[in-house]
Amino acid sequence: MNGPEDQQLPNAFSRRAFLQALTGAAATYGIPRLAFPADEQGPFFSEIPPSISGITWAHVNGRSADMYLPETTGAGCGFLDYDNDGWMDIYLVNSGPCDFYTPPSRLRNALYHNNRDGTFTDVGEKAGVTGSGYGQGIAVGDYDGDGFPDIYLTQYGRSVLYHNNGDGTFTDVTERAGIAAPGWATSAVWFDYDNDGQLDLFVCRFVDFSKAKNKWCGNRLTNERSYCIPRVYEPMPCWLFHNNGNGTFTDVSKESGIAESLAKAWGVVACDINNDGWMDLFVASDTVPNFLFVNHKGKFEENGVLAGVGYSAYGRARSGMGVDAADYDQDGWTDLFVANVDQEMFSLYHNNKNETFSDAAVPTGIGSATKLMSGWGLKFFDYDNDGDFDLLLCNGHPDDKIDGRVDGVKYLEPMLLYRNTGKGMKNVSEQGGAIFSRPMAGRGMAIGDFDNDGAVDVLVAINNGTPVLLRNNAGRRNNWLGVKLVGKKSNPDAVGARLSYQAGDLKRSRMKVGGGSYLSAHDPRMVLGIGKREKADWLEVKWPLPSGTTQRFTGLPINRYITIVEGKEGWS
Amino acid sequence: MRQASTLACLIFMSRFMNRFLLLALTLGILAGSGRAQSGTRAAATDGSSAAQRGIGLVDEGRCQEALPVLKKATPLTSDKQLKIKAGLAMVRCGLQSNQTEAAVNALLWLNREFPTDPDVLYVTTHAFSDLSTRAALQLATSAPLSTQARELNAESLESQGKWDEAAAQYNLILKQQPDVQGIHYRLGRIILSKPATPTTADEARSEFQAELRINPHNAGAEYVLGELSRQAQQWEDAIEHFSRAASLDASFADAFLGLGFALNSVSRYAEAIPPLQRGVKLQPENPTGHYQLAVAYNGVGRKEDAKLEVRLQKEAEEKIEQARQKASEVPQ
């Protein structure tokens, strides 16, 4: 970090301080973790500057006078432990050559290996995951169940499946797998739609676009060109690929019902909105209705409009971008969130328990706070480990010429942090740290505990800029238990598993959703916050179908990560 | 205060005077263009030659002579363009010679005969605006301190976005006549038009409530109170106000739609259906109504009806989109 703002950070920590803070004691607990100087009163998040983290890579959007729409929409980022060493590595997506763009010098995606000391080293070239086109997003899943996470890279043009060889390298297996998804792919998610124990793949598709189809938008009077609102482009169907279990996939978009709905899709989250054990999909769409694909035993019925999540309350399509799902009020039913562009407000959809939702954005204050904002990456997570789902959002208007054109609307916008008080959502951005007052062109956002301290950290991908890595200071002020699930009969990543736990008077339940946010992939481990309570009494894991079994664990440790393998007693 | 009021009136008048000059210019240009066009046509055997003579008299400023000629000749003219030019000349003459009735009759005739003609619509807009200016000037000169003059002045200030000055005028009216209807409503509207503050909703609410104390039949005030409650998600309050607004005015589509919206929001789907049905009947082009009706039908299990409303909602949305695209194609 180089700016004066960063130097003013009360808790900005130097490389020396960071290294001094290393401790070996934590290594006695399963996965090792870093220890940090105590900062009980500091901001909730601190930015780790590139000079400390070593993450000097930058996204290049290749902005041109022709204002090609993909220039303003990328890119994504992800946390994944590609080498299974117990430390979250980082993947960053860049632009690249395509029909409308020839980079003046080679652009590539980055895979930053976690050096376990707060620094990272780019091993993208060696790993063979540098991308092959105009990159958009990333989805991570162990599709072949070999224990190593694989990467699906979405691109404008043709997407790529990188199989993890287990030795620090990857192989492009797209052709064999049959999931190139030609066109403009955006977010993607791995999940098991037919409950056969294999991870399938859903890929969002944006509009029918190419260099030849690029349209002129702007002010004819002044001849000032601007990025088009996607309304002017034709929608396209999304893809659903069924995992055949042999390294190949079958395009089941039509027979599953997915292709019936024409989308301009950005974000997707896989979750179970009706608690029937079949994973549903919530897809954010831009200028057409959002989709709620309700899964009826492997066949999807699109029910977004009637469920109350397709349109605004006025029956108008908005510009849905980032999405997520979580049971934020702990009533046992999964709620949804979608971020839109300015003038539309974001929506917090509370589940009415009957496959319909009510927008709670206004009473929670989220509506007024986001009236002039445009949101992309977002995630429900318990940043302070008090046991409640909070909400973090990164923002930025898609049109870089918006400043001055619409009152109060800016191209660069700050992040927002909402704390779940148990009674509602409170905007605590002001206490979040300096980053929450810094406007930026946020796009993808991933969460992951890169320093294994149980405080879930954040990575924000910046359009045409250096990514922002945020260290969470708040989470370690409370106690926690981190859980990695390994499915055996159920899908390897246990997407769709439900964890319930009790710590004294605190009883919580949460589902492991698939995907969420925008173009990004998250730490697959779940951190269960228990506040100041000294122990977790019990933990139940309800494995997703086809298993459906429930395992109960007691005598659990706290403030460390454990791995639970489906069907095995105990943990490691 | 009187000085300020007079000043506002002068601003108000000058604004309209400019419009008046524009109208005169517009009519002159159109008349000229008509003359050029009609000159290229072959002489007609019907009323054309008389109509052309009438137009010529108008161009010479001889309106007293021109009007009877045009009145008689125009309906007999078969050339459409000449008919329009003759009609427009009658409007011009009527306004120039203060024969308002002749001008209005000509406008009504033109709009009946040529309802989509751009020249006719353009001149109609300016002519009615001009007539309104004349009435306003008359009011300002004949009864400058009347409630009506102040109200018109305040409305003018409102239209210019001068909220505080407009509010001052409305407050003067209330000082003069505390029980006059409609003024608290206007004050509430001004509060909502100004940049929002944390107290905006409460301040506006108290004005609309004051209006209802004076005039319990003001459906608009009930509606806005319902809307304020709806925005605050105070559903029961919203339902009460929207219900009253709808019962006060059976043609108030937004009140019916607001009522259905609020009822849907508290999952009272069966109750929401009748007002929403009424709302979409009154306003079939509004996508919101169809969407909310779809939600209500879905809520009571009428899936097919819900799907139909979704289809109608999409059609309404597409029409709006087509209109938007058409508007964006108009050269700037």
Residues B288, A315: C-beta atoms closer than 8 Å: yes
Chain A CB within 8 Å of residue B310 CB:
yes
Query: b/e map of B75-91 (b: 16 or more CB within 10 Å)?
Result: eebebeebbbbbbbbbb
Per-residue pLDDT at B8 exceeds 80: no
List, for chain A, all residue ranges whose pLDDT scores fall below the cut of 50.
1-31, 35-38
Contacts of B230 (CB under 8 A, 6+ apart): B238, B242, B258, B261, B262, B265
* Closest CA–CA distance from residue A356 to any residue of chain B (Å): 9
Residues A358, B265: C-beta atoms closer than 8 Å: yes
Give tens-digit pLDDT for A8-34. Answer: 333 333 333 333 333 323 333 344 555
Contact A438, A5 (CB under 8 A): yes
Residues B310, A306: C-beta atoms closer than 8 Å: yes
Which of B231, B287, B289 is closest, CB to CB, to A316?
B287
Residue B329: per-residue pLDDT: 56
Which amino acid would we find at residue B257?
L
| Chain B residues near residue A305 by CB distance under 8 angstroms | 291, 294, 310, 313
Residue A5: per-residue pLDDT: 32
Per-residue pLDDT at B33 exceeds 90: no
Residues B294, A358: C-beta atoms closer than 8 Å: no
pLDDT band at B35 (very low <50, low <70, confident <90, very high): very low
The helix or strand, by DSSP H or E, that contains position A91, with its residue range, turns out to be: strand A89-92
* Closest CA–CA distance from residue A293 to any residue of chain B (Å): 16
Give tens-digit pLDDT for B169-183. Answer: 999 999 989 999 999
Q: Which chain A residues touch B if contact means CB-CB below 8 Å?
A: 219-221, 231, 305-306, 308, 311, 313-317, 352, 356, 358, 362-363
CATH number attached to the domain at B43-142? 1.25.40
Contacts of B260 (CB under 8 A, 6+ apart): B272, B273, B275, B276, B279, B289, B292, B293, B296
Rg of chain A, C-alpha, whole Å: 22
Looking at CATH, the fold of the domain delimited by B164-322 is given as 1.25.40
Which residue of chain B is at minimal alpha-carbon distance from A219? B332
pLDDT band at B328 (very low <50, low <70, confident <90, very high): low
Helix axis angle, B219-231 to B253-265, nearest 10°: 30
Residue A404: per-residue pLDDT: 82
| Three-state SS annotation for chain B | CHHHHHHHHHHHHHHHHHHHHHHHHHHHHHHHHHHHHHHHCCCCCCCHHHHHHHHHHHHCCCHHHHHHHHHHHHHHCCCHHHHHHHHHHHHHHHHHCCCHHHHHHHHHHHHHHCCCCHHHHHHHHHHHHHHHHHHHHHHHHHCCCCHHHHHHHHHHHHHCCCHHHHHHHHHHHHHHCCCCCCHHHHHHHHHHHCCCCCCHHHHHHHHHHHHHHHCCCCHHHHHHHHHHHHHCCCHHHHHHHHHHHHHHCCCCHHHHHHHHHHHHHCCCHHHHHHHHHHHHHHCCCCHHHHHHHHHHHHHCCCHHHHHHHHHHHHHHHHHHHHHHHHHHHCCC
Paired tokens of A253 = 């978009």
Residue A34: per-residue pLDDT: 53
Residue A263: per-residue pLDDT: 95
Residue A223: per-residue pLDDT: 87
Residues B290, A316: C-beta atoms closer than 8 Å: no
Chain A CB within 8 Å of residue B265 CB:
yes
B-interface mutation test, from A264, A314, A348, A364, most B Cβ less than 10 A away: A314
| Chain B residues near residue A311 by CB distance under 8 angstroms | 291, 313
Of the candidates A485, A521, A554, the residue with the CA atom closest to the CA atom of residue A91: A521
Per-residue pLDDT at B165 exceeds 50: yes
Q: Residue range B95-119: average pLDDT?
A: 91
Residue B88: per-residue pLDDT: 93
Contacts of A161 (CB under 8 A, 6+ apart): A143, A150, A151, A152, A153, A172, A173, A174, A177, A179
Question: How far is residue A29's CA from residue A480's CA, in Å, rounded to a whole number?
Answer: 13
Same fold, B43-142 and B164-322: yes
> What pTM did the predictor assign?
0.79
pLDDT band at B19 (very low <50, low <70, confident <90, very high): very low
The helix or strand, by DSSP H or E, that contains position A348, with its residue range, turns out to be: strand A347-351
Boundaries of every domain in chain B: 43-142, 164-322
Residue A220: per-residue pLDDT: 83
Query: What's the mean pLDDT when you consider all of chain B?
Result: 84
Residue A368: per-residue pLDDT: 84
Measured in residues, chain A has a length of 572
Lowest mean pLDDT: which of A48-52, A293-297, B140-144, B290-294?
B140-144
Helix axis angle, B163-176 to B147-159, nearest 10°: 170
User: How are beta strands A265-271 and A262-263 bridged, if at all?
Assistant: unpaired
Give tens-digit pLDDT for B210-257. Answer: 999 999 999 999 999 999 999 888 899 999 999 999 999 999 999 999
Residue B9: per-residue pLDDT: 42
Residues A314, B291: C-beta atoms closer than 8 Å: yes
Residues A305, B299: C-beta atoms closer than 8 Å: no
Residues B291, A352: C-beta atoms closer than 8 Å: no
Residue A33: per-residue pLDDT: 54
| Chain A residues near residue B233 by CB distance under 8 angstroms | 362-363
Residue B294: per-residue pLDDT: 95
Q: Residue range B24-29: average pLDDT?
A: 45
